[in-house]
Chains A and B, each alone.
Chain A
Amino acid sequence: MKEDLMDIICCPLDKHDLDLEVDERDDEEVLAGSLVCTECGESYPIEDGIPNLLPPDMREDAPA
């Protein structure tokens, strides 16, 4: 994920801004980390450079 994208992405639930927490980056983009909603506190993981901004109930680990 490129950091200039922060201008246009938001929390899918309440549409508030996200804070970026970087765990790993290369010259061009953030490879691992998380995006945390400044309003509701929900955390969205960035894995392999692709943010997972699915609402939590659609994630892989969501309870059925």
Chain B
Amino acid sequence: MTIGVVVFPGSNCDRDVRWAAEGCMGIPTRFLWHEERDLSGLDAVVLPGGFSYGDYLRCGAIARFAPVLEEVAWFASRGGPVLGICNGFQVLTELGLLPGALTRNSRLHFICEPTGLKVHPGACRWLSDYGEAEAISLPIAHGEGRYQCEPATLEAMEQSGQVVLRYQNNPNGSVGDVAGLCNPTGNVLGLMPHPERACDSRTGGLDGQRLFASLLG
């Protein structure tokens, strides 16, 4: 079991993901520079948080064209587990692996605090170790996390159980309280909260651990 962690110019949570996976959970990782194309030997890929390519133009807009993401899209299409955290979630929407877009928080502030979530795991393999409607707490840290999509798109995702994480006290104005989404086949998860910052008891809660542990199950 090895997790690939994509590193864009401007990523800043890549080492946090490595610490969570390797240091806390004992799962080896390999950094994938954005120009790489070799995903051989990897069992899962994480797109970490940060400000890829400076978030110029729009969050994730330029990262979407990184060579490594062509391979990640191919990996995902074959059922490979892909996790996009914060900026990684923004990249997944720009890439079209998840619908909708992340926009400026409704109250404009960059919000950095623990936030209460409800988990609805459904078929999402990253969340298989959580209970239905389980309440957890994960930190958020974003200025552009307001999830936005067409009402019909949201309705369809509600029906198919793709809205797998919801805010309990919607901090950013996201439609449907959406904090995280899964693709229909359950292998691609995008979320604004940071599970990798909730894996070490010295830095807060441990509610993120089971997300990484699900890969071992």
Answer yes or no: are A and B bound together in one complex: no
